[in-house]
Amino acid sequence: MKPQGKLTTQKDVARLAGVSQAIVSVVLSGNTRNIGVSPEVADRVLSAAKRLNYRPNLSARSMRQGRFFNIGYFAASSDCGEHDFAQFRAGIYDAASEQGFHVMMIRLPSNLSKDPDVVPRTFREAHLDAMIINPMTLSINAIKEMVGSDNTLPIVYLNVKEEFGSVYVDDYHGARLATGHLFDQGFRRIAFFHAHVPKQTDHYSRKDRIAGYSSFMAEHGLVAQIKKLEVDIYSAEPTTSDELASRASMRDWLQGPNIPEAVFCNNDSEAMAFQQLLYELKLRVPEDIAVIGYDDDEICRLSSPPMSTIHIPRYEMAVAAVNMAVSMINLSNGDNAYRLAPTIKFTPKLIVRKSSQAIQSIVPAAKTDETDFVVRDA
């Protein structure tokens, strides 16, 4: 009988199951197929482990295998409305758990100069095998500088477009999907709208989305209109003279002769800000101006009308980032090959809802199971 208070060991499980400790180790590691342990024996071992409330000794495992079985997930905190999407976190936690790793969630400060040692210190103290960094709106160059060229810890950049070791979505293609959808609806005066967000370093996606939109317009002989609202859309009201002037200019555009038939917005939050402008001017969506966003955030389904958008497969991207990190860990024993892990590019999808449809093509809500919901890959 095991003394009360003593931790259960594999030897205890082996004694109860009537097998060797080596068999217990194999069964609990999940490698029974490769070793040839019968299902009956495996069930006996698992039942014994459950009965004894066995928990693996992670310290011992780390010492044996030279790993901590910890992956750090770094996301940049921000005070300007940007958020780390739940799908990223869910994908990272699920994929890491499936491969026997724990996840340490670490928030990077939005102002790195306040604590320039935060990343190196975490390397030293957190017992990580690899880390996944989502810079969000922070400068990737600033983060790389902080990481340092002498770093030996495997790093994967999530939602970042780098030559090696990153996972990102093809926003150029996504922008062409959005613009092409508006074109297919019969619209020709199609504009691109984006807004200024203070203290943010422009993410690569904004440039790629503008480039994708512009290329589609040029290929079809259409005039591109790229409009920027120099107002923090996350603040209550514009306050500075520049913000007030920018808002007035936007109103003049939407009430002038060059008013667009349709608008592709840089992301869903900025699309909501644009719809607010239209509401103030008593312009209807999509009757007066069709609108499509980007990201497929939850707010799209809650807006009125439901907003068309471009879906980013964040969960799948996060799973790919973890798989890349684990591959790097396996390759990092005395070899720098892990630094050349190929970057993975994901393809976004078009989600069509009511906000972007030409009036004559809108299907009455009563005839659909979901609110004007269509997915198109190309």
Do strands 190-195 and 262-265 pair parallel, antiparallel, or not at all (unpaired)?
Answer: parallel
Report CA torsion sign: 240, 245, 250, 252.
positive
Indicate the pLDDT class of residue 370, thresholds 50, 70 and 90: very low
The answer to whether residue 117 scores a pLDDT higher than 50 is: yes
Distance CA 92, CA 90 (A): 5
The answer to whether residue 183 scores a pLDDT higher than 60 is: yes
Report, as an integer, the average pLDDT of 158-165.
Answer: 92
Provide the angle, in degrees to the nearest 10, between the axes of the packed helices 39-51 and 10-17: 120
Report, as an integer, the average pLDDT of 146-166.
Answer: 85
Report CA torsion sign: 141, 146, 151, 153.
negative
Say what the pLDDT of residue 222 is: 97
Which of these ranges, 54-63, 120-129, 268-277, has the smallest mean pLDDT? 54-63
The answer to whether residue 375 scores a pLDDT higher than 70 is: no
Q: Is the peptide bond between 286 and the residue preceding it cis, with omega within 30 degrees of 0?
A: yes
Candidates 336, 287, 291, 344; CA nearest to 317 is 344
The answer to whether residue 336 scores a pLDDT higher than 80 is: no
Spell out where the chain has E strands.
70-76, 102-108, 130-134, 155-158, 166-169, 190-195, 225-229, 262-265, 290-292, 309-311, 344-346, 349-352, 374-376
Provide the whole-model pTM: 0.78
Q: Is the peptide bond between 116 and the residue preceding it cis, with omega within 30 degrees of 0?
A: no
Residue 58: CA atoms inside 13 Å, Cβ hemisphere, count? 7
